[in-house]
A and B are shown apart, each in its own frame.
Chain A
Amino acid sequence: MILESQRFQPFTAEPIAVISESGEWIAPFELDLGPDQLRRMYQDMLVGRAVDERLGRLQRQGKVSFVAPSGGHEGAQVGIAHALRAGHDWLFPYYRDVALPLAMGLPLVEFVAQAMGSAADPSRARQMPYHVSSKALNLFSAASPIASHIPPAAGCAISMKLRGTDQVTVCTFGDGATSEGDWHAGVNFAGAQGAPIVFACQNNRYAISVGFEKQTGADSIYTKAHAYGMPGYFVDGMDVLASYYVMCEAVQRARDGFGPALVELLVYRYGGHSSADDDSRYRPRAEVEAWRKRDPIARLRRFLTRKGLWDDEAQKEADARIAAEFDEAVAQAQAAGDVPVEAMFEDVFADVPERLARQRAELLG
């Protein structure tokens, strides 16, 4: 079970961090990421944050029916994305993953088109916003029923193992998911089979309004890994580099045949659960503000600034570029037009069965 390259111990009492709040390198090993990748990680977080804010605006304009704010999750998500071999490994995401699929390479227009229900959505506008999927990226289709994707993720990893494909499955979810029976079923099966999968919990301490202390009697998520015979890692999810390095190690471990791992990334959700939620009913503002001060984007920026890899000029340029890219994505999504009504009857099965064809005719007249 022990890797030669092992940097992190499982089951640490404190969350693993590699840069401090003030942006200093504090890990006991050398940073081995080049400037380009560091800047890319930073900008991937910026994109996630921008999409979050811009889609919120589109929602208030009636162009998008719903948003699931992910501000505060960018560090964990970008760290996970960079730990994967895009297009080779598989991701089973959940609906709050925004920066994650985009950092994996999902074209922005696809994300925006999915949210807007436009014909540019490769999923053909079948789901509410924040439920992306991409066959090209092995990005499994997100589903709303919480934790229902955990057993499929386990199955995918079992398939990888028995076919010897050298792939790894990463499966993300929030803290609420860990209460579901399906979560147990999936994690347990993966554990029993020693499947190459990393379960990555973005613990933002709220399932809509229900706080973590009501979600479980346990102090943490990662300690539950004991019960499934796999290592549990506790990570500061507001530290993108810690998220990246721990995920890398868990992924490599799985790829090398050492089985699954559970990684808990401690994050915070700045916004409400969704555009339909008023979080002031259950969360003190002071708590939100305290977490905002630990913002993952600001933290990495301090680190990059210290290293001379980022400045205000770069920031301005990046912000403008991302805004333009978003505008362009919205324009493209709108230009693609609506999905035709008859598409409602397609993809239920490989072919449209006779009975459905009659129902389609009934609708179309």
Chain B
Amino acid sequence: MARELRLPELAESVVEGEIIRWLVAEGDSVALDQPVAEVLTDKATVELPSPFAGTLLKHVAAEGDVVQVNAVIALIEEADASTAGKAPPTAPASGAGASGTGASTAETVDDGDKLSLFKPSAGGDTEALPRMRRPADRSSGARATADQAGKTRPAAAGGGQVANSSAEGAAGAAAEGSAVGTRLGREPARGAFGRVLAVPAARKLARELGVSIEEVLGSGPHGRVRVDDVRGHVPPAAGQGQTGPQGSPLPYKTPAGYEDREERAPMRGLRRLTANQMVTSHLHTVRALHVDEADVTDLVALREKLKPSFAAKGVRLSYLPFVMKAVAVALAEFPALNSSLDEVKGEIVTKRYYNIGMATATAAGLFVPVIRDVDKLSVMEIAAEVGRLAESARGGKLAPDDLKGGTFSVTNIGSFGGLFSFPIINSPEAAILGVHSIKKRPVVMRDDSIQARHMLYLSLSFDHRLVDGAEGAQFTSRVIGLLENPVALMLDL
């Protein structure tokens, strides 16, 4: 049986050695403990005694080679199996090969930092590394805290992973969050002395928002209250506090006789976050709806015409880029639609950048990735970015930055049918535009003829505190005007 002769760790801190001289030639026999090679380390020159008796088959390392500790330097055909037991192994067999492959993969440099200096030990890390689970609220929680660290402003609900654009768009949330189940019990989890379990940052946020931590239900392990739980907490509405205990959740009672025909599952992960965001939006916006229709017959034709040239560049062209482009143009003219309300300071924040979120349903739940500076992008560039973000969202590869900084959202609801809907605003944005399916309908034209035209319903849901009804209507009309003259839109006006 051929045994591997490895370079042992000859002294503390020695990681490599140079083969000075082979003392046993290939093909020669070698006795147990017989010196086989001279090795020079930076500490000393030593002779390596053979841990096996047999025949030296091959010098894997040549004279003059510098080899890593634990690397194979020779193969020895062991004379007889009985001696194998006596031979002390010079290295664990599991380390085999790791030195070669391990070293090369470790060359990868992380963003130019110095971590790559620390190579795995030559013996290789045989330790199995755990698979990481990513809690659903991980990034949003951290980021909200980061914001507070810098400035004192209340937690912004925007920028989270969860879309709150439209109720009907939310797919079932796959629970990928913490392994410990979310507590939906009616009492907050408490420690041994009755104090509610809460992450310190969550306590601080609760203080800032005037929320009693006692009322917040925690989604962390053991029911611990996290930052997102506080943010998603439903405070009792004004005047409603009289009717029941503050923030007491609504119980559900199973109708008599239906007990065995219902199933219960904990609400957790994205589903719960989505619900929280929806409630936040519901409680912190005054929604008004404006619905109109656009004749997009020319746009349909233009898209058909452009499709091949876009496809040639690997970009799939949908209607969404045109809508976004039109929205960006209209937002510049009606800045109220591109604003937010800082409730704590009582200030209206008008943004002079146009980052448009697109609600995207995925198997894991609803996300609103953001396309930045849409006003500065061509339709081609928007289309490319839409494609990239949609793919990332479905692949679960959205970067935290992809979800941040939206100023207005668009939700495409067409594929699910229906005439129009009333989208939920993605707080703290001021409005969201629902884009519905394009259908041929009979339209009375200016010359009183009736034609089959490609018609599109648009439903603008806006926060009436920030946007007046007339502004909402004018904004929508402007978007329609642009969509009906798509060439002008393409020419960037």
Asked whether the complex places CB atoms of A and B closer than 8 A, the reply is: no
Enumerate chain B interface residues (CB-CB to A < 8 A).
none
